[in-house]
Amino acid sequence: MNPITIIELYVFVLAAFVGYQVITRVPPLLHTPLMSATNAISGISLVGSLVLAGANRDNPSNWLGFIAVTAATINVVGGFLITDRMLKMFRRDPKPPPALEKKTGGAG
Amino acid sequence: MDAREVVIQAIYLASSVLFILGLKSLSHPDKARLGMQQAAVGMALAIVGTLFNHEIIRFDFITLALILGTVIGYPLGMFVPMTAMPQRIAISHMFGALAATLVGVAEYRINQPAVPRSTMAALGFEVLFGALTVTGSFMAFGKLQELITGRPVTYRGQNAVNITLFGVAVAMFLYLIYRPHSPMVFYAMIGLALLLGVFMVLPIGGADMPVVVSLLNSYAGLASSATGFAIQNNVLIICGALDGASGFLLSILMSKAMNRSFGNVLFGAFGAPPALAAGTQAKDLTVHSVSAEDAAMRMAYASQVIVVPGYGMAVAQAQHVVGELADLLEKRGVTVKYAIHPVAGRMPGHMNVLLAEANVPYDRLYDMEEINSEFPQADVALVIGANDVVNPAARSDASSPIYGMPILDVDKSKGVIVLKRSMNPGFAGIENHLFYAPNTSMLFGDAKSSLTRLVSEVKAL
């Protein structure tokens, strides 16, 4: 195994910073889809699990990989589907809302 | 780097960009769906790219696991009702953390005699937070699904026990960085972390779940980020960081909406022993109850009605009837708006999703800051199964446990109609003086059947 390099720390800090900035703009209206979306995206641990399950290092590793791939796939498949199902439900009123213009979240 | 590796890395980079754009699209409901579909494409790319990794030499385990995961994941995505969303989200944190933990264990097992200290730090962090999230999320799921009691479970010295356990786990972690080749310590730390997850969630009550679910979201993200460090995979680091940042931000927002610190949520066991200091006892105050007929009349002839949904609406699965009632009122020329408190329900955004399911247009849903100034103009505020988030004691009674929490100023509207099962105090066991106010009328009964009666009364007018 190679030691961790400082580059990885850069990647982490910058990604966390981008994440914070992007997510600050998500309106409370969409906080539940946000949670399911980040869940689906965190299914990216599949990339680690797949290598583990397919590298054939030894039997325990294969099985650990098997469970990890299953768990991550559940999140990917279930997560994206349920996010889409939720987002599909959010619809605007065909006629404009009466009084008080609601601000449209941080568009753009 | 050979050509294959370059291609895989390029794919990972593209996926990372698509994920960030997907999250960015969530800033507006009109763009969100497309953005997340693009993120799903990014995920598919990343998976296909990974399969070309030269380390992968057998596909039987992979294929079976992908099929099994899809078979379990599909119904979790398509058939779980919106009312069950909090527990659905909680359990998915468990799956994410489980994958991260197992990868960490496997990496440690194989490389164990030669794990560099920096990698050990990543692995240790990964399994510590991963294992804690696995059991913590499962407990949260159990509480939300009501497999175990939703009330806080407390005992004497609980905080001391938890802090000691955590201290021991951290000490083990530090020891492992010092001496990575200590498998016994490594596995003992995992065991301890699993235990800690259970103990951490035990004392947390249902009303505090939004904070805990967000916090576990953040932990699951950090655990996968640590996986990325351990196996030197940048896309994992990036996604973990995004997930971690999102969960962290949400837990801060939720804590703020309850005017409490993280520490207070985690160690405070909110509402465990019903707070006796909760203001004057309400014995000699009178409650005005109202019939469905009168309530319907008042709403039908109002010019503005503000609906305030709470967890009770989710429990009674009443969101569709709410939508139906609002439609009827609007046809009569009544303006109907919805006031959404940030911690109404059991998860950030819980009420919004339920109302969206009931076909309520999202531009009728207003956040607390937007709607609070509107209550004085509202003829009727219809409170459906909400309690603490409309309790005026939060503004006026310094001895109340919820004092200082921002609330919806329902009591300032011209009239209040509260749908409530009985006069039992709410989840936190705090007396709510709104229910005794002279401008408040109580309509007792199950929220759904009360609303159904209201609908038929309005129709009959």
Question: Is residue B21 included in any domain, yes or no?
Answer: yes
Question: Is residue B274 included in any domain, yes or no?
Answer: no
Same domain, residue pair B168 and B78:
yes
**Number of folded domains in chain B?**
2
Contact B361 A97 (CB under 8 A): yes
Q: What is the DSSP letter of B154?
A: -
Mean pLDDT in residue range B97-104: 94
Contact A2 B119 (CB under 8 A): yes
| Chain A, nearest residue to B80 by Cα | A82
Note the pTM of the prediction, 2 decimals.
Answer: 0.88
Question: Is residue B282 included in any domain, yes or no?
Answer: no
Same domain, residue pair B203 and B315:
no
Phi, psi of B398 (to 5 degrees): -65, -20
pLDDT tens for B390-436 read: 988 888 888 877 888 899 999 999 999 999 887 765 555 677 888 88
Of A33, A57, A73, the CB nearest to B69: A73
Distance CA(B284)–CA(B127), nearest Å, equals 56
Same domain, residue pair B257 and B394:
no
Q: Give SS3 for B306.
A: strand
Distance CA(B351)–CA(B319), nearest Å, equals 9
The dihedral built from the CA positions of residue B199, B203, B206 and B210, taken in this order, carries a sign that is negative
The dihedral built from the CA positions of residue B53, B58, B59 and B65, taken in this order, carries a sign that is negative
Question: Is residue B446 included in any domain, yes or no?
Answer: yes
B388 annotated active-site? yes
Give the pLDDT band (50/70/90) at residue A76.
very high
Of B28, B107, B352, the CB nearest to A107: B28
| Three-state secondary structure readout of B285-303 | CCCCECCHHHHHHHHHCCC
Contacts of B320 in chain A (CB under 8 A): none
| Chain B, nearest residue to A22 by Cα | B24
The dihedral built from the CA positions of residue B217, B220, B225 and B226, taken in this order, carries a sign that is positive
| pLDDT value at residue B17 | 95
Q: Is A101 on the interface with B (CB under 8 A)?
A: no
| pLDDT value at residue B146 | 85
pLDDT tens for B271-309 read: 444 444 444 455 567 888 889 899 999 999 999 999 999
Write the CA distances from B275 to B255, B310, B390, B431, integer angstroms: 20, 21, 18, 9
Question: Is residue B221 included in any domain, yes or no?
Answer: yes
Number of alpha carbons in the 13 Å side-chain half-sphere of residue B418: 29
Question: Is residue B276 included in any domain, yes or no?
Answer: no
Q: Find the range with the poorest average confidence among B33-42, B179-188, B194-203, B421-430.
A: B421-430
Please check the confidence at residue B115 and state whether its pLDDT lies above 60: yes
| Chain A, nearest residue to B352 by Cα | A29
* A residues 10..49 contacting B (CB < 8 A): 11-13, 15-20, 22-49
| pLDDT value at residue B280 | 45
* B residues 360..389 contacting A (CB < 8 A): 361-367, 370, 374
Same domain, residue pair B316 and B227:
no
B18, B38 Cβ separation under 8 angstroms: yes
Nearest CA among B150, B181, B154 for reference residue B87:
B150
Cβ-Cβ contacts under 8 Å between A and B: the total is: 407
Same domain, residue pair B9 and B139:
yes
Q: Is A3 on the interface with B (CB under 8 A)?
A: yes
Same domain, residue pair B342 and B446:
yes
| pLDDT value at residue B279 | 44
Same domain, residue pair B93 and B206:
yes
Same domain, residue pair B35 and B120:
yes
Please check the confidence at residue B322 and state whether its pLDDT lies above 70: yes
B53: left (phi over 0), alpha (psi -120 to 50) or beta: beta
Distance CA(A103)–CA(B195), nearest Å, equals 45
Same domain, residue pair B256 and B346:
no
Please check the confidence at residue B239 and state whether its pLDDT lies above 50: yes
Q: Find the range with the poorest average confidence among B41-50, B146-155, B276-285, B350-359.
A: B276-285
Same domain, residue pair B168 and B68:
yes
Q: What is the DSSP letter of B307?
A: E
Q: What is the CATH number of the domain that holds B363?
A: 3.40.50.1220
| Three-state secondary structure readout of B310-361 | CHHHHHCCCHHHHHHHHHHHHHCCCEEEEEECCCCCCCCCHHHHHHHHCCCC
Contacts of A86 in chain B (CB under 8 A): 82, 353, 356
Contacts of B331 in chain A (CB under 8 A): none
Last residue of a domain, one of B217, B252, B268: B268
pLDDT tens for A80-104 read: 999 999 999 998 877 655 554 444 4
pLDDT tens for B57-76 read: 999 999 999 999 999 999 99
Contacts of A59 in chain B (CB under 8 A): none
Contact A38 B213 (CB under 8 A): no
Annotated catalytic residue within B208, B388, B409, B411: B388
Query: Domain range for residue B88?
Result: 3-268
Question: Is residue B287 included in any domain, yes or no?
Answer: no
Q: Residue B305's beta-bridge partner residues? A: B336, B380
In the sheet where B416-420 sits, what is the strand order?
A: B365-367, B335-340, B304-309, B380-384, B416-420, B440-444
Question: Is residue B305 included in any domain, yes or no?
Answer: yes
- A97: Cβ contacts below 8 Å, ≥ 6 apart: B361, B363, B364
| Chain B, nearest residue to A73 by Cα | B69
Query: What amino acid is encoded at B53 in this protein?
Result: N
Alpha-carbon gap: A22 to the closest alpha carbon of chain B (Å): 6
Q: Is B161 on the interface with A (CB under 8 A)?
A: no
Please check the confidence at residue B231 and state whether its pLDDT lies above 80: yes
pLDDT tens for B355-401 read: 999 999 999 999 999 999 999 999 999 999 888 889 888 888 888 77
| pLDDT value at residue B212 | 87
| pLDDT value at residue B64 | 95
Of B28, B227, B349, the CB nearest to A45: B227
Q: Is A107 on the interface with B (CB under 8 A)?
A: yes
Same domain, residue pair B263 and B305:
no
Which structure tokens are listed for B375?
């209550």
* A residues 47..86 contacting B (CB < 8 A): 47-58, 60-86
Same domain, residue pair B117 and B253:
yes
Distance CA(B356)–CA(B361), nearest Å, equals 7
Query: What amino acid is encoded at A79 in this protein?
Result: G
Give the pLDDT band (50/70/90) at residue A1.
low
| pLDDT value at residue A96 | 56
Last residue of a domain, one of B233, B268, B303: B268
